[in-house]
Amino acid sequence: MSFAPDLTEILARARADMRLGVPVVLSDGARAAVVMAVETLGPQRLADALALGQADLAITEHRAATLKTAAYDGDLVRLAVPDGAGLDWVQAVADPADDLRVPIKGPFKARRTGDAVLHRAGIRLAKAARLIPAVLVVPIANGAALAGEHGLTLIGAAQAMTTDLSPLAPVIHAKVPLEVSEAGRLHIFRPEDGAEEHYAVEIGSPDRSKPVLARLHSACFTGDLLGSLKCDCGPQLRGALSQMGAAGEGVLLYLNQEGRGIGLANKMRAYSLQDQGFDTVEANHRLGFEDDERDFRIGAELLRKMGFSKVRLLTNNPAKVERLEHCGIEVVERVPLKVGENRFNHHYLATKAKKSGHIL
């Protein structure tokens, strides 16, 4: 018998530690490092980390491009933390909030020797914790000893980099009569790795042997709930449900991948950058993210779990069709969902059409 957490559980703890600002120890064979997310780093922990040895600040290639620094490691860059640098420097490199007001100037000393395995795993953890993708990395000689002494989570870099989709367990479903259809039913799915739950709204009783009218809707607190005019999410959500209500059947997946997978706080950071004149894609890049960090395997897996293999997909995003098909769901038809354009989101929709391939 063992009550010890397994790897998935240790990974979930590591994500929680990152959000709390507790250091995590990453290891890879003989190498190990103490890793902390910049976003949750406090002055004392920074001082303690710097006392351990020469620290690196790892940022993604997109953030590096904004800072005009070459990403020698491809997808990321390891910047040596200069002597005497404090929390202000670390935060200014990681967080674009003040890029325009007080631009941070180089030259930055990027490391070219050694490798970035632990740094990459740290950035992966920060992203999974929905934090700004920038981590402080301090190499140490004996990871297991330091983790044991201070009660820190110790995890292998390869485990932190896992790309396996966490199994999604159906939790419960029950009837929820809706304005668009009294025959509504809400299903809850919970990932084994402790990440956010996802939901499916089933309307009527769609025949599983035929293509179902389906929508993969990514959570948008501002659009779906507040009626924000900056995007078209709210009208798309309601429009999709009404089409399903009119057809008497359909399935809408409500995927908790807020802000195209970067989380609500980061989406608001992106909005703040948009207020400074950057578009939706540029804002994501300045923060260090890809334009779209969503994992479409989740939607495909939920459809399969519910017995659907063929869909008529409500979307204006051809990449979504492609990514879903790649995940084994047959998209027999793309059904356009053009609703909710207004003077505030006109530029946003035009940018998505120009840069992300959406069909206007």
Q: How is residue 343 annotated by DSSP?
A: T
Point out which residues pair with 35 in neighbouring strands.
24, 137
The sign of the torsion formed by the CA atoms of 254, 226, 247, 316 equals: negative
Tokens of 220: 């948008």
* Contact pick of 184, 223, 245, 299 for Zn ion (by CB under 5 A): 223
Q: Which listed range, 161-169, 192-200, 227-235, 281-289, lies at the site for Zn ion (CB under 5 A)?
A: 227-235
Q: Which residues are CB-neighbours of 345 under 8 A, at least 6 positions away?
A: 229, 230, 231, 232
Contact call for residue 236 and ligand GTP (CB under 6 A):
yes
Site for Zn ion in 161-220 (CB under 5 A): 220
With respect to ligand GTP, which residue has the nearer C-beta, 231 or 306? 231
Instruction: Kindly tell me the burial class for residue 84, based on how many C-beta atoms sit within 10 Å of its own C-beta (0-12, 13-18, 19 or more).
Output: exposed
Point out which residues pair with 331 in neighbouring strands.
311
Contact call for residue 127 and ligand GTP (CB under 6 A):
no
CB of 4 to ligand GTP, least distance (A): 36
Q: For residue 217, which of 195, 200, 205 has the smallest C-alpha distance?
A: 200
Q: For residue 23, which of 104, 130, 136 has the smallest C-alpha distance?
A: 136
Tokens of 111: 């490391």
Choose the catalytic residue: 17, 56, 292, 295: 292
Q: Catalytic site residue 17? A: no
Asked whether the beta carbons of 45 and 52 are under 8 A apart, the reply is no
> Residue 233, annotated ligand binder?
yes
Q: Write out the DSSP string of 59-128.
A: EEHHHHHHTT---TTSSEEEEEPPTT--HHHHHHHH-GGGTTTS-------B--SS--HHHHHHHHHHHH
With respect to ligand GTP, which residue has the nearer C-beta, 161 or 327? 327
CB of 162 to Zn ion, least distance (A): 29
CB of 43 to ligand GTP, least distance (A): 30
* Contact pick of 58, 284, 302, 308 for ligand GTP (by CB under 6 A): 284
Label residues 90-117 b or e (16+ Cβ within 10 Å = b). Answer: bbbbbbbbebeeeebeeebebbeeeebb
Tokens of 284: 């994501």
State the binding partner of 305 from ligand GTP, Zn ion, none, CB within 5 to 8 A by kind: none
State the binding partner of 259 from ligand GTP, Zn ion, none, CB within 5 to 8 A by kind: ligand GTP
Question: Quick check: bond before 206 cis, omega within 30?
Answer: no
* Contact pick of 37, 126, 147, 231 for ligand GTP (by CB under 6 A): 231
Q: How many residues bind ligand GTP (CB under 6 A)?
A: 22
Q: For residue 153, which of 288, 248, 334, 15 has the smallest C-alpha distance?
A: 15
Contact call for residue 290 and ligand GTP (CB under 6 A):
no
Tokens of 236: 């798309």
> Residue 315, annotated ligand binder?
yes
Q: Catalytic site residue 292? A: yes
Site for ligand GTP in 200-219 (CB under 6 A): 218-219
> Residue 220, annotated ligand binder?
yes
Asked whether the beta carbons of 197 and 190 are under 8 A apart, the reply is yes
Site for Zn ion in 230-249 (CB under 5 A): 231, 233
With respect to ligand GTP, which residue has the nearer C-beta, 153 or 317? 317
Tokens of 15: 């994500």
CB of 56 to ligand GTP, least distance (A): 27
> Residue 258, annotated ligand binder?
yes
With respect to ligand GTP, which residue has the nearer C-beta, 153 or 284? 284
> Residue 15, annotated ligand binder?
no
* Contact pick of 69, 153, 181, 280 for ligand GTP (by CB under 6 A): 280
Which run of H or of E encompasses 246? Answer: helix 233-247
Which SS3 state, helix, strand or coil, does residue 76 take?
strand
Task: Report the interface residues with ligand GTP, using CB under 6 A.
Answer: 218-220, 231, 233, 236, 257-260, 262, 267, 270, 280, 284, 315-317, 320, 337, 352, 358
Feature table: binding site for GTP = 215-219, 236, 258-260, 280, 315, 320
Feature table: binding site = 215-220, 231, 233, 236, 258-260, 280, 315, 320
Which residues are designated catalytic?
A: 292, 294
Feature table: binding site for Zn(2+) = 220, 231, 233
